[in-house]
Amino acid sequence: MADLSKFDPNSVGLRSNNIFGLPFSEDESALVLLPVPWEVTVSYRPGTARGPEHIFDASMQVDLYDPDVVDGWKKGFYMLPVDKNIRKKSDFLRQCAELIISYLVEGGHVAKNEQLSEKLQEINCGGKMLYNWVHEMTASLLKEGKKVGLIGGDHSTPLGFIKALSEVHEDFGVLQIDAHADLRNAYEGFTYSHASIMYNVLKEVPQVKKLVQVGVRDYCDEELEMIQNSNGRITTFFDRDIKAQQYEGSSWKQVCEQVIDQLPQKVYISFDIDGLDPKLCPDTGTPVPGGFEVEQVFYLFRLLHASGRELIGFDLNEVSCGEHSVDGIDAIVGARILYKLCNFMVANV
């Protein structure tokens, strides 16, 4: 156990320590965070590959007192170093993907272009490589008895982690907070597209018995059909319907209870930051009007915890900072969401 006698939780966060300025090593930490600097298939704006680094920097400004899980940080949180080889591979393949996406939006057919077909194959091989790498990293941490969280990158990143959890837990549910359904089959030809993450989860991880989506407000006919034909495996709380319920008198507590009632005992949270109102994440890859306030989501987490359900893992994705952000608000919000997820993750340790 770490010696906290010389650590002042009321003082400035020290970058010489680790995430949130905490003085824990990996061995001393109950929860280990895996950064995944990958954004190959983002459809609109890049920048999420630097999300883990931006969140780390902003985390130094997060005060450690959390009324929901008092002294949760004392269990130890540790973020692994960003793998520069993964980031370099992402940067290279992103350039290839941009050529393909530009070609598609001009009406081109990749299958008829030999050069782009080769690049598409290379991108899909890279996606498989990342899937295997994330699986290997998270499976190893789980075998060590660690709680694990993942920080993207784009939303394609957690597939290998969810697969690793399926090797430990016979069945569980996924609570997805997102503006998008992410149920497209190989969107734009990319097998491991950020827009295909939940399609791939349901296809490749049968241990996920239930997918509960909250805040979805940007989706296509194909995705709606998949939801409607899922035989109850997918329940989607569309942003439009949530707002209508509230306009007509339902409380947010009632909506949250409906969401939680759909979840099994064990729950994995997949948090795409674009599930929030875009004023809180203006630089995310594909912002969509609508969405939640941060405190609404924290209240949902609070009720989820109070229900007695077990949080077995989480990811936080699509956090970016750049030309569209306001003084780095994306990372500031992302760091606070991450801290809340970390605390609830160790609440029962």
The CATH number for 185's domain is 3.40.800.10
**pLDDT of amino acid 349:** 80
Q: Is residue 340 in some structural domain?
A: yes
Report, as an integer, the average pLDDT of 144-160: 97
Q: Give the list of residues 6+ apart from residue 61 with CB closer than 8 angstroms, or none.
A: 13, 332, 335
Give per-residue pLDDT as tens, 291-334: 999 999 999 999 999 999 999 999 999 999 765 555 679 999 99
Give per-residue pLDDT as tens, 7-18: 999 999 888 899
Report, as an integer, the average pLDDT of 274-286: 95
Q: Is residue 322 in some structural domain?
A: yes
Structurally, how many domains does the chain consist of?
1
**pLDDT of amino acid 298:** 98
The candidate with the shortest Cα–Cα distance to 321, out of 56, 44, 51, is: 51
Tokens 């990749």, located at residue: 110
Q: Is residue 9 in some structural domain?
A: no
Look at residue 181 and give its three-state secondary structure: coil
The candidate with the shortest Cα–Cα distance to 161, out of 143, 138, 192, is: 138
Q: Is residue 326 in some structural domain?
A: yes
The candidate with the shortest Cα–Cα distance to 341, out of 147, 54, 83, is: 147
Angle at 278 between CA 289 and CA 251, to 5 degrees: 70
CA–CA distance from 96 to each of 42, 181, 205, 225 (Å)? Answer: 12, 25, 29, 31
Record the tokens describing residue 81, joined without a space: 């170093």
**pLDDT of amino acid 321:** 79
Q: Is residue 11 in some structural domain?
A: no
Residue 258: which H helix or E strand, with range? helix 252-261
The Cα 97–Cα 120 span in angstroms is: 7
Cβ(154)–Cβ(169) below 8 Å? no
pLDDT band at residue 280 using 50, 70 and 90 as cut-offs: very high
**pLDDT of amino acid 43:** 85
Q: Where are the alpha helices (DSSP H) in 106-187?
A: 114-143, 159-166
Q: Is residue 5 in some structural domain?
A: no
| CA neighbours closer than 13 Å in the CB half-sphere of residue 180 | 28
CA–CA distance from 47 to each of 22, 179, 284 (Å)? Answer: 26, 18, 8
Give per-residue pLDDT as tens, 84-116: 999 999 999 999 999 999 999 999 999 999 999
What is the pLDDT of the chain when averaged over all its residues? 95
Cβ(319)–Cβ(49) below 8 Å? no
Record the tokens describing residue 181, joined without a space: 């359904």
The candidate with the shortest Cα–Cα distance to 116, out of 190, 192, 194, 187, is: 190
Give per-residue pLDDT as tens, 209-252: 999 999 999 999 999 999 999 999 999 999 999 999 999 999 99
Q: Is residue 220 in some structural domain?
A: yes
**pLDDT of amino acid 327:** 63
**pLDDT of amino acid 62:** 97
Q: Calculate helix-pair angle for 159-166, 114-143, nearest 10 degrees.
A: 40
First to last CA, the chain: 14
Report, as an integer, the average pLDDT of 254-269: 98
Look at residue 129 and give its three-state secondary structure: helix
Q: Is residue 10 in some structural domain?
A: no
pLDDT above 70 covers a percentage of the chain that reads 98
**pLDDT of amino acid 2:** 78
Report, as an integer, the average pLDDT of 131-155: 98
Give per-residue pLDDT as tens, 196-210: 999 999 999 999 999
- The domain of 121 spans 19-345
**pLDDT of amino acid 44:** 86
Look at residue 215 and give its three-state secondary structure: strand
